[in-house]
Structure 1
């Protein structure tokens, strides 16, 4: 059975082709489907179809571009083009690329079956040629790709012979991977230009081989990188060539190996570094011997539970609201370190930061945001969290915005910490305010801050908060609100609790007060 993969971005068409054609009876087996060219290229690491049935119009790269990519890798494969566009230029280009046929949608069952039988006969002839030793040898790129992907079924002796033939018998090897992320990954034309320039440079200078491994641009170095200076030189060189892709590329080197057969070890090591680049990324090539965290390792933080995003978001907001921006950075870094210690993924960290910052934004007044003169809207600021390539840069950008908001809040003329607390209580009495939470904001023990508060106001914190709430409740009762409505607005957890506190501080019940106020 020859293996087939169907590539079309419309699920109905993919499934329709699977059921329309009597695959097994004509010698084929459908091993999978894909919706895009990138999906096909990624799958080549684990499965290699003999025949690709591909639509011309697929997202990311066209079907013709996909064929070109596979041909560049030297992967042996046959192609049948399917399209809803009766365009002779498409058909001619497809045939120039070696496609075995071009069919228009909707596909005719008999027409495609006949074409597939012809393709099968050609493939059988190729197999006979291979068995008789008359087949063309695979390309150098195919050899390297097979070794990197682990799909090569060759012993050491065979690899050494092929290395001699392709002038790949080097003393040492190292794989460097370049990943294009974010907005840059959508610029297929720029990525193609970048890869072509790299290939031309490294081939011309005989420094190595450049090829595309679907998820990355891979460079097989003839001379492994020795020390930080050489890594920096290569990093700057790649940055210069990358052009518009510069903000979106991450580079990792997997370490040197002695044998060509071992380059997959360097490849997987480099791949592992890229997978962790969000946490440890920096303006340099990531490598095994310089892989250190960009954030300081904690001690007490190692034992902390995952942050409650609502609580930590409130703490961030409080610091902004009282104008204490100096505590924002330690709080953000503590949260980040706890997530790292718990082994959270990049997506989980970004989601947590999104929720924390959303908690801040929903409490910040529109005037404060406007007065901070920020270049983005709150919605844009939130969405930008998911676009950051490294945790360090995420914290840096978030901190920049929060500090500007804090400066605006601080400019209101509040000076002492107690005055800030009193002003905050007056505006947020209805929320779940606790002395312990405020103490953490100011880096005090709750006992010490409570003593300061008592000395400055003459009241204990809870007593002061209760009196503020009672006074606010009186205003609503005088306006005609029902007792339970006034209690809820003032922040009391239950009506009975509100009754007891009201009578304690005012000497009468809320109902009696309301009657007197009406009279």
Structure 2
């Protein structure tokens, strides 16, 4: 008999499932019920049912979160997901978290019974295989038992067993390998990879290879030494997995002196993979490896992520004036600051989406056509959520914005000062400051101020005020209200606008409007 836990927030459905299905005839027994994911986890801490029947939508912790937590804990319970029609896509996601299958509500008795029969066959085969493994006390069984917490031998007895299997090694290190998007247990290419891994690292008795969903586990008796040793190991793993032609992720836990301590090495390696977003691709993740941007120099921190508008402001202007070389530096600075502040992956993605969206929103559609970018702005923004590392994310956004900036670069048509004045004429209504222009055009603030005065005969702020007042006159002549004009030309304070206008034109905005 195989044990079953029913997890659903509807009491009637929990009761109905218990009576609808001929559980005993199918080789199952109901050992408990739970109304949400948290209750189910509490039950799993006391008992370990073979099968979970899980609803998608539940309060507190839903079905998908429950399945994810079960996998994170290294538990191997089989799960069948129950889903309403509206949750169809969620049900498909559940398969990625290790669910056996999903059924649409209302549950069909024949369909669920058929699925349980097929599952019974697989569970029976696995139970028989596990029994053979346990009876033979293979090295794989020893490692699996330690990682799953399933062994019931005393510490001394377990050590004697390990010694008898030739596993009395001076050091132990767990390496976890995964292939995102591929099912570890079903993909033939991954099984072939494990077989090659056995030949390379376990055939001489100096390593152990096994499947511990969702990872391939490699236990090494001779951990790689130093950066070069770790690089060699990663290259060898890539070579052995060449058939898969997919992205490989690998992480090594710390080296431990005792076989009984390998769960700690496993947990470290798993944590590294769960935080792989913060590491550069193409490397073996280890506790010694620093996160991307973790030790960025102070020079990168030239934007403040607390003020997302400031960073978005700089990015758009860099695109607008064709200053492509500034874009990477701005984005690197945002990434470094957020990593230093301990922001998580979701917060970083959301910040970069905001920065990219603000820039795209203000950029002329014609610029996209000129750039020959293969997608549209929507595809570009969606791509932010498919980047697997923070370095990829920064480079992805930078590459597209730099492409737009290069199309905006019109320095060949005019000299730089005219270019700057044209920029002011187009953006007079925004929060322009001399510091911003000096950064965009790569001048020191003091030198640019003097250059500006020599060319225009006016200081920057005075010139900007004249441009704004000129634009304000045009709007006032159209009959627009004074407070509306003030905001339109860049003066959020109407009294300040009034004083500037009168100082330059010798009369108030309302007086000018009456005359015109």
Which band: TM-score by shorter chain? 0.7 to 0.9
Per the alignment, do residues 342 and 301 of structure 1 end up closer, same or farther by CA in structure 2, a change over 3 Å counting?
farther
- Aligned twin of 1:409: 408
Do residues 17 (structure 1) and 14 (structure 2) align? yes
Correspondent of 1:28 among 28, 31, 42: 31
Q: Do the aligned partners of 2:303 and 2:334 also contact (CA within 8 Å) in 1?
A: no
Residues 47 and 212 of structure 1, relative CA distance in 2, 3 Å threshold: closer
Partners of 1:326 and 1:202 lie apart in 2 by 45
- 1:362 to partner: Cα distance: 1.1
What does residue 475 of structure 1 align with?
Answer: 474
- The answer to whether the 8 A contact 1:178-1:216 is kept is yes
Q: Which residue of 2 aligns with 1:203?
A: 198
Work out the CA distance in 1 between the residues paired with 2:408 and 2:320.
Answer: 6
Alpha carbons of structure 1 residues 515 and 53: separation in structure 2 relative to 1, 3 Å: closer
With over 3 angstroms needed to count, the CA separation of the structure-2 counterparts of 1:212 and 1:478, relative to structure 1, is: same
Matched, 1:96 2:152: no
Q: Do the aligned partners of 1:173 and 1:222 also contact (CA within 8 Å) in 2?
A: yes
Change (3 A) 1:417 1:179: farther
- TM-score, with normalisation over the residues of structure 2? 0.76
Give matches, 1:107-146, under 5 Å: 141-146=140-145
Are residues 294 and 337 of structure 1, via their aligned partners in 2, closer, same or farther at CA, if it must alter by over 3 Å? closer
Partner of 2:5: 5
Q: Contact 2:304 / 2:311 at 8 angstroms: preserved in 1?
A: no
Q: Distance in 2 between matches of 1:244 and 1:309?
A: 44
Aligned length: 461
C-alpha displacement at 1:271, in angstroms? 2.5
Q: Which runs of 5+ in 1 are unaligned?
A: 69-81, 101-122, 124-129
State the secondary structure of the residue aligned to 2:285: coil
After TM superposition, the structure 1 = structure 2 runs for residues 256-267 of structure 1, keeping only pairs within 5 Å, are 256-267=255-266
Structure 1 range deviating more: 434-443 or 387-396: 434-443
Aligned equivalents of 2:303, 2:214: Cα separation in 1:
36
Residues 172/369 of structure 1: CA separation in 2 closer, same or farther (3 Å cut): same
Worse-matched range after superposition: 307-316 or 168-177 = 168-177
SS at 2:253's partner residue? strand
Question: Once the 2 structures are TM-superposed, how far is the Cα of residue 137 of structure 1 from its aligned partner?
Answer: 7.3
Question: Distance between the aligned counterparts of 2:515 and 2:418, measured in 1?
Answer: 34
* Structure 2: stretches of 5+ with no match in the other structure: 24-28, 34-38, 41-51, 57-62, 84-90, 102-106
- In 2, Cα distance between equivalents of 1:52 and 1:296: 43
Alignment partner, residue 77 of structure 1: none
Deviation at 1:320, TM superposition (A): 1.4
Match of residue 47 from structure 2: none
Q: In structure 2, how many angstroms separate the alpha carbons of the residues matched to 1:435 and 1:441?
A: 10
Q: CA 1:331–1:171 in structure 2 vs 1: closer, same or farther (change >3 Å)?
A: same
Deviation of residue 53 (structure 1)?
A: 6.8
Match of 2:187 among 157, 180, 192: 192
1:516 correspondence with 2:511: no
Give the Cα separation in 2 of the matches to 1:433 and 1:44: 52
Deviations 1:66-91 (A, max 9, x none): 679xxxxxxxxxxxxx9655489746
Secondary structure at the counterpart of residue 188 of structure 1: coil
- Structure 1: distance between partners of 2:81 and 2:460: 70
Q: Measure, in 1, the Cα distance between the counterparts of 2:294 and 2:452.
A: 35
Moved more, 371-380 or 275-284: 275-284
Give 3-state SS (helix, strand or coil) of 1:362's partner. Answer: helix
Are residues 1:43 and 2:70 paired?
yes
Matching residue of 1:59: 92
Once the two structures are superposed, the pairs formed by residues 214-229 of structure 1 within 5 Å of their partners are 214-229=213-228
Equivalent residues in 2 for 1:245-260, closer than 5 Å: 246-260=245-259
Cα deviation digits, residues 229-276 of structure 1 (max 9, x gap): 443344234334546865543211124333221212221222233244
